[in-house]
Chains A and B, each alone.
Chain A
């Protein structure tokens, strides 16, 4: 860990005024502190935002607003979240461990760094951590790595389960900066690595994610999150699927599908959604709809199973929404 200055700004305005290049916001600390101890992140200034008024889970009109400092466990347990967006509650409960969920914030979860072992080990090259040094994951151990949205410079998987559920629900986030605030669709926040994998999102230096907003979606009550992983708790996804279906009279009228564990960002699958829409709620519908779910995938030596596993994960999730 490198020496850094530590401040606890009293207001959001104060926080964004103090932040900038080389600074890092500290919420639950479950990612940042780990990475600082590993020397994989070396902020010169740490701003503890835990006292800022970025809390609360409430309806704002028809949308559900979640403060960025809400803890994962509190959001997962919230009656409105469980009733209206089961996919969100399930994605949270399948993340991390109870201890981590009690500490980790929603904002931090969405902006957490990848679990790629090379990113976390400063003794190895990594284009994301040290631009231009190379990507050993391409030829190294890459079982957990991405197959979609990858580039020659980076194949790191986006680790958040929550983000997959929220991208499926078309959630947006509120960003505060020195000049004001802006609302951005969560799906648009994440950047593909291309040749700048160190730039992971569209946040400007010092910009603060203060709130998550989930649009009303009545039929999201029929939604679920399936996560396939190498053990049943405290493990990241090999593949995951967030699905929601609007089913009436045995016919699918509308669908939301997003995938995790496979992309360099949460991976919305509009083609699968279209292929489901207007079709009967049956296994053969699901199987034909996912046929192209992994199109464009670039599997690596240790994750050649991921395209097939992804298709099966989505099918399993969809069958879970049958009456």
Chain B
């Protein structure tokens, strides 16, 4: 029964509450006496706020308070986690300086959202305006090596001979190409929202987050309270994509305003504000130089990237883990201080960007060498880490290519562009690989047997729509041998058990499943041991007096000395509400293997020969991510990830006006993301080879895998259809029709 759950398609346990509207997202909380904050943002990108005329706004209906740089909300310190890298270092309203267009310069609090919004529109701001440094293109020659931040981000990598240029010059074939993509925005369905409620010196805050414990810690620092005083409640998150990994100003301001006013405050960021007051992915320019022998064997890779600021590293995160090469040089350069909103991580940080460049470059090299793109990749198949020499554990990317090619019909591809058409549509096929470094961390899980016959499984991670609620219940059921409907999972709350190290970050780096699932198994074992101990020692227990060795736990029941009793009955008999254990598991860094998850994407595109629209007709993605715990939620993750890659390939990009720093398309009508009509049938296949080296569960992460490489598969298919190599995303009709 229960054991057969893993690996099977199981419906989401949180599905019914979501489709019936009962799932409570942060902004759905309306405590008594609630008032509403609305953010006022700057209309210049560089300069100073000289004065703010609040007169009309203060007289406007329902207005309770207006906070500005002259009437600040106290916020302290700086973000505890990599403040220069992942979030906004400066506290909102802390000075009069304006550093980017759309920066928060005020908060209006009123009885209703509409009153606050309308009052904010009445505030007149006088600025001292300076010319903004907002043009990405104009900064390309101002790149500097970023400082070391304690992570392998932006750290130069050199492998092989001293001079990469010598290695390239010595190669039979060299190819240098440059790839660009514009800024990208997370655009989670749920905007950043927070409802802050103080009782004395304790804060309860409803705020969507990927890591409730880290969120609480960030709030505690900003509010100068002990972190035990901050209770983050975030059971459901309407999409995170990295944008809710760290704490942004709207949440801090809600908490500070609620403390200042002595009543609950809700702040819901508008869609337009999300583009500037929460993070985004930087625009990136990458130059990829490949040196190879005529037979396709790579001799050298030189990958140079340029981004707005140090956050993601396409080189290190990607190029180190794709192909074997004796010589490699990776560089990341960033300009100092542009007048742009703060970048942050975005789904598949580094990897999405880097795989776009690398997998397009490999396709270009294959065309140049007249090789099949799959053969070129197999020729350079990476079996051991370029840096440590350790072997990759359970890597079946070659099988992904083989299975994918067969399912997709890759053999029907014609190497020469414009060879296949369907009416007025040119048809092309392309492929690309995906490699995701598969992390796993230690964490803490609490498993409690309850007198009502259910078992509670709890840990402070999050479900971003990813399926964590469901696989936590499944893993609990599997580990305890009881049906999934007797498991009560708990996540999304900072008061739940939280692990050491990176565990407070919660759902991040596609590692939540690989991290949590083995920990559930360990925690269940300890809870069972505690239950047996309880059974043999409690004075009311029918098992009292037996030794622990004489008692067996199986499928929810304890047996020993001729007695069998369900745990619910046992706890009822002993008048114990719940009993179990909280366990922090240990994860040792492997000294024998490196871990990755892998996929091969195949894409078929149709391009109109008159007008150049590129329509995707079908895609196939074959995934090797170890054990697949829930085929349904895993498929949903990969499908969503592939669509997340189609977005930048064909549609997405923030338009920053160089002269003003204003984002011209900061809304969902003008910032294009794929709609259903744009998304083809996506055939997802899981190889399902358990990886015994990563954990006893055998599961590696896969959340970001669908996004890695999928844009390159689209670009490569378009090139096969039309003969046009687009190196500047997105691929819009005007780039193809002529």
Listed in ascending order, the chain A residues whose CB lies under 8 Å from chain B are 1-2, 39, 97, 115, 117, 122-124, 139-141, 226, 228-235, 238-239, 305, 308-309, 312-313, 315-316, 319
Contact = CB atoms under 8 A, between A and B. Distances in A.
B670 A117 contact: yes
B611 A233 contact: no
Contact of A141 (B121, B655, B674): B655
B213 interface: no
A233 B610 contact: no
A140 B664 contact: yes
A228 B738 contact: no
Interface string B663-678: 0110001101011111
A177 B657 CA distance: 43
Contact of B608 (A140, A239, A316): A316
A39 B270 CA distance: 15
Given A117-B665, A140-B664, A319 B424 contact: yes
B549 interface: no
Contacts of B117: 1
A226 B608 CA distance: 12
Contacts of B670: 115, 117
B737 A231 contact: no
B650 interface: yes
A232 B118 contact: no
Given A141-B657, A232-B678, A238-B733, 11 more contacts: A1-B117, A139-B659, A228-B612, A230-B651, A234-B669, A239-B611, A309-B612, A309-B737, A312-B611, A316-B610, A319-B424
A105 B733 CA distance: 30
Contact of B733 (A117, A230, A234): A230
B676 A233 contact: yes
13 contacts: A122-B121, A139-B659, A226-B611, A228-B733, A230-B651, A231-B677, A231-B678, A232-B615, A232-B678, A234-B669, A313-B610, A316-B424, A316-B611
Contacts, number: 77
B192 interface: no
B695 interface: no
Contact of A140 (B114, B657, B738): B657
B174 interface: no
Contacts of B166: none
B662 interface: yes
Contact of B665 (A139, A141, A228, A308): A141
B677 A232 contact: yes
Interface residues of B, number: 34
Contacts of B677: 231-233
B734 interface: yes
B574 interface: no
Contacts of A238: 733-734
A241 to B, nearest CB: 10
Interface in B589-646: 608, 610-613, 615
Given A230-B651, A233-B675, A309 B733 contact: yes
B43, B114, B611, B612 pick with most chain A CB within 10 angstroms: B611
B732 interface: yes
A315 B609 CA distance: 11
Contacts of A305: 734, 737-738
Interface in B452-496: none
Given A228-B611, A232-B615, A232-B678, A141 B664 contact: yes
Nearest to B733: A228
A204 to B, nearest CB: 30
A157 to B, nearest CB: 13
Contacts of B659: 139-140
Interface in B708-738: 732-734, 737-738
Contacts of A315: 610
B611 A313 contact: yes
B646 to A, nearest CB: 10
Nearest to A304: B734
Contacts of A1: 114, 117-118
Contacts of A115: 669-670
A308 B662 contact: no
A139 B439 CA distance: 47
B118 A2 contact: yes
Contacts of A124: 662
Nearest to A312: B610
Contacts of B678: 231-233
Given A233-B676, A235-B672, A316-B424, A309 B734 contact: yes
Contacts of A308: 737-738
Contacts of A122: 121
A107 B738 CA distance: 37
